Structure 1
Amino acid sequence: MHNSLTLIAGTLETKHTLHQQLEEILGEFIDIESFAVDEFLPNNIHNDLIIYSSKLVEEEAGEAVDAKCPTITAQRTVNYQHIDRLFELPYRTTVLCVNDTPEMTKETIHTLEKIGMNHLRYVSSQSSENRKNIRTAVTPGEVSFIPRNIEKVVDIGVRLIDITTLFEVLDHFKLQKRLGSIISSRYTSKIIELSKKISEMHQKTQTLNEHLKQVVDGVNDGIMAVDLGGKVTVFNPFMEEYTGISSSQALGKTLPQLFKQPDLLQFLSQPQKEGRYFTMNTYNVMVYRFQWEDSDSVIMIFKNTDETITMERAARQQLTKTGYIAKYHFQDIIGESMQLKETKRIAKKLAASELPVLIQGESGTGKELFASAIHNHSSLKLEPFLAVNCSALPEDLLESELFGYEEGAFTGAKRGGKKGLFEQANGGTIFLDEIGDISLKLQARLLRVIQEMEIRKIGGNKNIPIDVRVIAATNKDLLHLIEEGKFREDLYHRLKVLFLHVPSLRKRKEDIPTLVHQFLIENGERQQVVNLRLMKVLKDYQWPGNIRELKNTIAYLMTVREGREITEADLPSQTFFQTTDSQFQPSQPSVLDQRKFTSVLTILLKLNEGYESASRQKISEYSRATDYPLSVQQVRKVLKELESHGYVHVKRGRGGTEITESGKEFLQQ
């Protein structure tokens, strides 16, 4: 009569795994059936032998088993088929060990440590230890119990039945003498398979380490790594050069044994957010300290700043020679308003991508500054940056500029042809300003270039692949142009993968004082002062021309002013601020003109009624006692404006100036 046994497991997965193990080792000699508590248990289970997969299963399923049946509660060990996954985790990684019960979790940890898997630090999922910073979990098939905050899960598979339990089964069926060596060989063969697997992994690791060493040694920087115990594990040739210490002397040493500079030692011993400059053995180096992710090791990089500066200068000089360089950075965009800060914050995020960007904003808001800054803040910063104003060139000339042409493509074409801006910008960024002004024909060609990332020169017969980031800018409402049929909708969506709106100056008026100060400095006037009343006028104006108009206005004020202080009296006449757009009509300058007119006319009336000569010098002297002190030159300008309105009559020579009846009426009003 053939021997038979019944396996009772907790879960379906455990049942399938253990049933397969028993079949592979004992199936030739013993009939095996199996049940799972989670699935179905018949009543009054009876067989030659009952095997429970764990103590917990014995407690749960005991009532379903015939009391007369002999039983064994299996001893379990780790699954040798998946144990190699633990070797993928870095040395001394803290891992959360997860099983279905506290007892099973403790048993799993004990088994792992007993078989030599002690390169990791295990924490029980049921322990009271703070598990907030643990990001990796190890589990023997109980994935559903893993907490949500865990980022990496290592499932080492359902634990297998230990060989001691297998021999208990043989003893029960009186088969140990006859089959003991066979079963032991089969079980051992599985262990040998694991050993081979681990050996292969070890060889691969050694090969990888050799490659990594070659890479680290070949890097043009000093590289040093320190393990959890504070001992140096990596020390490449450049570190030997910078420190004067050989690799054989450095490996295994601690930082205090290698470095005697207190400031350098302190920097290397603590977490750092930024690099710091040091001098070592006549070398000027920038040192960076990084914590390796998912590891307790720390890596330090020592960059030779002299070489770095030389290389960067050479690269920048080469780009400058060709004119293909972005001139502006984010620090060049002046202002502290919330609107500008938010725009710069978004722009810096857009810089991290290499997708097309559409920048929209009114004329004079600084769209090109943002395009340039985005390029300089991106991974393409050492690559070419080419800008073209699409509205500044006729269609045919713009087409040849963008795409280039072959020799003989048209009358006047250069011998040998010409590279277009797209081809010249290869690997970098092209900035298409005023994109809303290009023709539909050119839009179609541009769309194909952006879609296919290849260009064909005018007169050419082959496509040239390119790798270019496109940044476009416009002051027009492209959606309105699409409705009018003047702009392609498909091109619009190709350009507007990423989007940036640059605020107008009237939306960030708190930046005006900062901008005014900057424009004064740019014109070499660091000591110049703008009085508060003039600053209020500048802040009240709507600035339809935005920053460009403000810059021009400051240039005008600096030209006409007298003395160190610039005042509202230096402002140009109201017509200086005129614009065709009614929404930008200024109110404050006209009010200011009325106040200036009132002040000067009042002085004139007093002088005329007292039969005093109303010379420019005298008017200037009287004005010093008013709210609008004027220089002689400023008096001349105001009198000229008053005369244009018919409020005064300026006599030649020393006759002075007389107020007219219209001027008196103006005063009465």
Structure 2
Amino acid sequence: MMGRLVLIGIQEENLSYMHKQLIYIFKELIEIQVISLKELHAASIHSTDTVLLSGAAIQELVRPFVPPSCMCIIAERMINVVNLREMLALDENRNILVINDNDTDTMETVKSLRDIVPQHNYYPFLTDKRIPENIHLVVTPGEQKLVPLGFPVLIDIGPRVISIDTLLKIKRKFELLIEDSLLMQLYIKALVYLSERPPEIRNENTDSQNYGRTFENFYTHSSSMNNARDLTRKMAKTNHYMHIEGEVGTGKRMWAEMIHNESVFSAFPMSVYNCSDKEPESIKRELFVERLNQMEGGTLFIKNIDQLPYSLQGRLAELFLNPLPNLRIITSTVVNLLELVEREQIRMEIYSHISSYRVQIPPLRERKEDIGLLINNFKTHFKKESLVFSPDVLEAFTRYDWPGNVRELYNVVSYCVCLNTNTIDTKSLPLFFKGQKQNTTHVIDVNYIISEIETHGFLEESIELLKIFKEGKERQKSFGRKTLKEILVLKEKALTDQQLRLRMDVLNRLGLLIVRKGRAGSTISKKGEEFIELYENR
């Protein structure tokens, strides 16, 4: 028996991308399991499995969880060359700042770009290094959140993919009867496929996704967290459906698991389904047919129900009205439920069912007294109890507001435990933390942005679009294309779907808009707001 291929990494977004590539190439030839480091435990990996690591840095962290009989393959990562169209169209000798999530990956990306597109000058964005002058644009492999404000042009070439050499190693390990030439063809097709379709959020398999966590073993120094825990434990003992609200990274999935383990449903499995970034037909099939048919009882945790298409929310309401025997449904959202109803992203009938059994998880910035406790928990998980964080680092952690909450703290600590050091000082902190306090903003080049928009011949319409988005943001509203077209007609600036899409694509590429799919709508970025203000005050 060949066993499974188990892909392990830290960042879930990159894992999802790599998983999609592996599925496209190997399809049903190999059983593929994806596990993030925070999900890894003693029973995660079987003795017959082959482990694929997203990078060499996590090898020592993973080793204690891997049976000696398992083979470990470290994935070599490469740029998706299909995503280099914009770079190939640039004038030569551009000064390009390259940004990735750590120094090692940044240098690897720079090397790949110099090999593939050698006609430009590449500068890595490194820890404690000043940004060179006269940068024309920024290139990043899927790490837009790390890009400092003010750069006129950003090209996101998408997350790096698994190299053909690594795929050949997997082929040999599993003794697959695929010619190397065919594997290369599948590799190229996968690159095209990934460039056209962003990866859907990974949904865990349909086996029980219960790691045994309970409120009994949940410790906190925060009074608000204690209150939330006590209220939730009382609700957990009922058989009513429940709803969890909390910002990204606050631990909603863990909370749902602890509810399950203190409920009358604890003898049954727990299943998790994420509605984010999925096509309506996929949700309809996976959630309302496959997942429900496979569950004979237990807890079904449905994450991000605000991403559930309006047309399918009626199906969820039916489940609340006519619950299946021995099945509890727990839902979650990042945004306050009432606010979502007012935005018409959640149907009132769903709100009426779950609003009375709702719990709110405080963000980390409101319970900073728990930071030291959380760090110790993470060090224990990684078996790195001897790692010491300096007083300066702990002070920096306390000052910081943690927009990514506990997940962001976990990512910082997991980065630190990968370093070959016993003490973490401020110089050791990763770019995605230190970048928040560096003075790396650039003055927006208004004339450059204007010239870029005018290249496409629609400056007046683009300025009007940005003003509409700015006014919407001030009223806490985002817009889809249908609403935008209606507003533009009222302003006597009617556009076709294709014309509107082209203008929004250009504004998005310049970093002036945040374009989102579905009912979430698009909105203006901070850079876009600053540009409009500078444009109007010229």
On whether the aligned pair clears a TM of 0.5, the verdict is no
Normalised by the length of structure 1, the TM-score is 0.33
Normalised by the length of structure 2, the TM-score is 0.41
Larger RCO (alpha carbons 8 Å, 6+ apart): 2
